[in-house]
Structure 1
Amino acid sequence: MNIEQYTANWNFPTAIRTGAGRIKDLPAACIELGMKNPLIITDPGLSQLPMVQEARLQVSSALTGCGLFSGIKGNPTGENVSAGVAACKEANHDGVIAFGGGSALDAGKAIALMVGQSRSIWDFEDVGDNYLRVNAEGMLPVVAVPTTAGTGSEVGRSSVITHQDEQVKKIIFHPGMLPGIVLLDAELTCGLPAGLTAATGIDALSHNLEAYCSPFHHPMAQGIALEGIRLVKDYLPRAVAQGSDLEARHQMLVASSMGATAFQKGLGAMHALAHPLGALYDAHHGLLNAILMPYVLKANKAAIGQKMAALSRYLDLPAPGFDAFFNWVIELREELEIPHTLAEIGIDESQLDKVGRMAFADPSAAGNPISFSAAEYQQIGQDAVRGDL
C-alpha cells in the first residue's frame, strides 16, 4: 500500500488537504486565511499531547503568535463557547484552529461565530431564517483539523451545542461556519483507542446511512452517502483492529467527511434520539448512535426495504435486502464490541417519556423515513434500553 497516493487537494465542499503529514501545512493554511494570531480550540486531553503542542509551536514560529483554549466538554455547552469567546477577545486572536474530535470542532466553529456577535448564541439556532441575524463580518476564519473519524464537523456549517439550563442540544447554523481549510491527516488519528475508533466510526456510518435513507430529494448527497457506507464497511474494522493502519485511518477520515457532506439531505431517528439522550445523560454521541442503529433500522423497516436492497447489493452482502444489511450491522457492532443496550452505558427508562417528546421535536426527526410520534420514539428508546430487537 502506497499511502502517498492519498495526498491530494480537494475543493468540495470546502478546501480539503488530505494525506499523511499534512499537519505541516497548518501555518500556511492560517496565513492563507489571513490569520496572524490564531487560537487553537481543543479538548483538555488533546491539549497536553505532542501533536497539539508541536502544531502550536509551528504556527507561533510562522505567525505573530498562537493561543490555546481547551475548556471544552465532550458535549460542548453554551458556557464553553462563552469562555472561548472571552479567551479569543482577551488576546486579540484573529482566527480559530479547531483541533480535535467533534466537540472541539463544533466548539471552535461556534466560538469563531460568536466573537463578533452582540446577540445570544441561542438566537442563531437553526430555525427558520435565524441565521440572517448573524453579523457575518464579525465571524473569524477557521482551519479545521479533525483527530477522529466520526462527526465530520470539519465540513459542516453548524455546531451542536448543549443548552445546560434547558438540558437540550441545539443546532447553531450559519453558512459561514464552514471552515475555510480542512487538513485530513491520518497520522493524527492513529493514537485513538480502539473503543473510540469504533464509536466514532459508527457515528460516521450513521450520518451516511441516515442521509441515504432520508426521503428528501438530493441525488448528489445520495451518491456520497452510498460510497461513505462502503468505506466504513471496508475500513472501520481494520482501523479498530490495527490503529496504525494509515490507509484505514485515511479512508475513515474521508468517510466521516462524506457523511457530514451527505447529511444536508437529512438525518433521522438515530440523531433525534441521540441528541436528547446526550443532553440528559452527557453520553458520547457516537456511541449513542452506534447502540441505537439497529433499533431505529427495525422501526423504519417498512419504509426503507427498497433502499436497503440496493445498498446491500452495493456492499456485496449475501441475499440483498433489509435483513442482509440489518444482520451486517449487528455483526459489525459485535465485532467492534459496541454495547447492545443503552442500559449498558447507564441509561434507564426513567426519562424516556421526556426523551420521546424531545426526539419528536428534534430537527433531525424531519428527515426520518417515517414520521414517528413522541410515543413511538419513547418505544424505540425502551427497546434500546431493554435490548428488544
Structure 2
Amino acid sequence: MALQGNWNYPTPMTVGAGCLDQIASACRGAGISRALLVTDPGLAELPMVTQTVALCREAGIGCEVFSKIQGNPTGENVEDGLAVYRQGGFDGVIALGGGSSLDAAKAIALMAGQTLPLWAFEDVGDNWQQANAEAIAPVIAIPTTAGTGSEVGRASVITDSANHVKKIIFHPQMLPVRVLLDPQVTTGLPPHITAATGMDALSHNLEAYCATSYHPMAEGIALEGIRLIKTYLPQAVAQGDDLEARTQMLVASSMGATAFQRGLGGMHAIAHTLGALYNKHHGLLNAILMPYVLVANRSVIEDKITHLARYLDLPEPGFDSFLNWILDFRAALNIPHTLAEIDITVEEAGRVGEMAVQDPSAGGNPIAFSAAVYSQIFVDAVTGRLTTASI
C-alpha cells in the first residue's frame, strides 16, 4: 500500500515520499512570491534546504534562508528572524526543520505585521485578539522530525530568556496553511534524535488521551497515534531509511499535536520548566518524565490506561502492564531512566514545582497537582524513585 495522501485535517496536508517537490506550488497556492525559509543551523547547508531553495527559485519564487535558531527558540531568535523578514520584503514563510524551527517560523510569521511585542500574544485569556490578523504571514510547514507536530499547531513555545520561562504564543492563524509530510527529509535523522522526538510524539498523544476535557474525536486520534508509535518508532530508530516507518511516525506526530487540543499535562508542565532552566531537549525531557507522571496520576487514569493497554494488545492489560511497556520501550530506545543522567540535579526542586504549576499545560493534567507535588515528581525523576508513596 502506497503511503500517500492529501488531507484537510486540521489543515491541508500532503503526505508521501518526494512531496517536498510540491513546495513551489504550495507557495503559489498560499500567495507567496518571496519566502523566508526558517530552519536551524544544522540543516541550513544540507541538501533538503538547498533543494527547497532551488525548487522555489526555479519556479520564480524568491527564497532566502534564516537559520539563527536555538534548540529551545528564544524571543531574541524570533526578533532576529523578524528583522530579516521585514528588511527582505518577504510575503510568506517556509518552516523547515524540527519543532524549534517550526515554532520560531510561526512566531516570525505572526509578528510580520504586528506593532505589539511578541509576549503580548502569550496564550493567556484573549490576548490573541490583540493581533492584527490580516498582517499574519502564511506559513508552509515541512517537518524534518516526527515529534512536536508543530506543523499542525496554532501556537509556538518560545523561551523568555530574561525570565527563564517558556511561554506559549497563540493565534488561530498561526496554523500553517499547507503541510508537506515527506519521509525522505527525515531519513538522515540520527537514532538518538529519532528516539527522543518520537517519544515526544508519544507524550503528546498520551497526555491528550489522559486529559479530562470532553473531546472524543481528539481522544480517538490519540489512541491510534499511540498504537502507530508503538509499532513504528523502534523500526524508525533501528533503520532510519525505512520510509514506511518514517511516514507513519510523521503522521503519528501530527496526530499528537491535533489531539492535544484536548489538553496536555504534567509531563509538559515540568518539561517546559526544565527546558527553560536547563536548555535540554524537549522530547528527551518528556521521555524521561513519562513514567513518573503516569504513576503520580494513577489513581484517576487507571481505567483509561487499562483500555489503552487492551487497544495496544499488551499481555494482562492494565496500568502495570502499560507502565512496564513504557519502561521497556524507553530502555530499548536508549532513553535514560533519570534526569540525573542528563546532568539535572535536585537543587532547584522548589523552583521547578512553582514554575510547573503555573505552566499552561498543568491545566490539562488529570489531577490538579500542587507545586509541592510537582517538586516531588521532579525529585523522583532525578533520583529514579518510581512510587506513588510520596504523592
TM-score, normalising length: structure 2: 0.98
Shift of 1:64: 3.7
Structure 2 residue identity aligned to 1:256: S
Instruction: Choose the corresponding residue for 1:91, options 88, 92, 95.
Output: 88
Is 1:251 the counterpart of 2:248? The answer is yes
Instruction: Tell me, in whole angstroms, the C-alpha distance in 2 between the residues paired with 1:177 and 1:382.
Output: 36
Give, in whole Å, the separation in 2 of the partners of 1:343 and 1:64.
Answer: 48
Q: Distance in 2 between matches of 1:143 and 1:224?
A: 23
Q: Could you tell me how far 1:168 is from its partner in structure 2? A: 0.2
| Superposed displacement of residue 336, structure 1 | 0.2
Partner of 2:187: 190
Matched, 1:331 2:354: no
Q: Any conservation in 1 of the 2:227–2:312 contact (CA below 8 Å)? A: yes
In the aligned structure 2, how far is the partner of 1:57 from the partner of 1:25? Answer: 12
| CA shift digits 1:194-238 (9 cap, x unpaired) | 000000000000000000000110000000000000000000001
> Match for residue 230 of structure 1?
227
CA distance in 1, matches of 2:184, 2:86: 32
- Show the counterpart of 2:354: 357
1:129, 1:159 → 2: CA distance? 16
Output the CA distance in 1 between the equivalents of 2:146 and 2:125. Answer: 30
The letter for the 2-side match of 1:58 is L
Tell me how far apart the structure 2 counterparts of residues 208 and 270 of structure 1 sit (CA, whole Å): 12
2:161 alignment partner, one of 152, 160, 164: 164
CA RMSD of aligned residues (A): 0.6
Match of 1:108 among 105, 110, 120: 105
- Whole-angstrom distance in 2 between the partners of 1:154 and 1:293: 23
Q: Distance in 2 between matches of 1:375 and 1:8?
A: 47
Task: Give ranges in structure 1 of 5+ residues lacking alignment.
Answer: none
Distance 2:18 2:61 in 1: 23
Matched AA of 2:161: Q
The CA distance in 2 between the partners of 1:314 and 1:357, in whole Å, is: 36
Letter in 2 for 1:50: P
What is the rounded CA distance, in whole Å, between the counterparts of 1:265 and 1:309 in structure 2? Answer: 20
- What letter is aligned with 2:86? K
SS at match of 2:13: strand
Moved over 3 A (4+): none
Q: CA deviation at 1:65?
A: 1.2
Contact 2:40 2:101 in 1 (8 A): yes
Instruction: Indicate the SS of the match to 1:250.
Output: helix
1:225-304 to 2 correspondences below 5 Å: 225-304=222-301
Corresponding letter in the other structure for 1:322: F
The size of the alignment, in residue pairs, is 386
Q: Distance in 1 between matches of 2:368 and 2:35?
A: 44
Indicate the SS of the match to 1:44: coil
In 2, Cα distance between equivalents of 1:236 and 1:67: 33
The alpha carbon displacement at 1:142 in A equals 0.4
Show the counterpart of 1:218: 215
Shift of 1:6: 1.1
> How far has the Cα of 1:302 moved from its partner?
0.6
CA distance in 2, matches of 1:387, 1:355: 17
Q: Is the 8 A contact 2:202 2:226 kept in 1?
A: yes
The equivalent of 1:313 in structure 2 is 310
Q: Secondary structure at the match of 1:60?
A: helix
CA distance in 2, matches of 1:370, 1:139: 37
CA drift at 1:63: 2.5
User: Quick one: percent identity of the two aligned structures?
Assistant: 63
Per-residue CA deviations over 1:102-158 (Å, capped at 9, x if unaligned) read 000000000000011000100000000000000011110000000000000000000
5+ residue gaps in structure 2?
Answer: 387-391
Q: Deviations over 1:35-86 (max 9, x none)?
A: 0010100000000101101111111121241011001000000000000000
Quick one: which amino acid aligns to residue 379 of structure 2?
Q
2:139 maps to what in 1?
142
Please list the CA deviations of residues 72-101 of structure 1 after superposition, one character each: whole Å capped at 9, or x if unmatched.
000000000000000011110100000000
Aligned pair partner of 1:154 in 146, 151, 165: 151
Of 111, 118, 121, which residue of structure 2 is paired with 1:121? Answer: 118
2:24–2:61 contact (8 Å) kept in structure 1: no
What is the alpha-carbon distance in structure 1 between the residues aligned to residue 116 and residue 294 of structure 2?
40
Q: Quick one: which of 35, 40, 43 aligns to 2:40?
A: 43
Cα contact 2:56–2:62 (8 A) shared by 1: yes
Amino acid of the residue matched to residue 199 of structure 2?
Answer: I
Q: Aligned partner of 1:7: which letter?
A: Q
* Corresponding position of 2:389: none
Q: What SS is found at the alignment partner of 1:46?
A: coil
**1:51, 1:283 → 2: CA distance?**
26
Q: Secondary structure in 2 aligned to 1:143?
A: strand
TM-score scaled by length of structure 1: 0.99
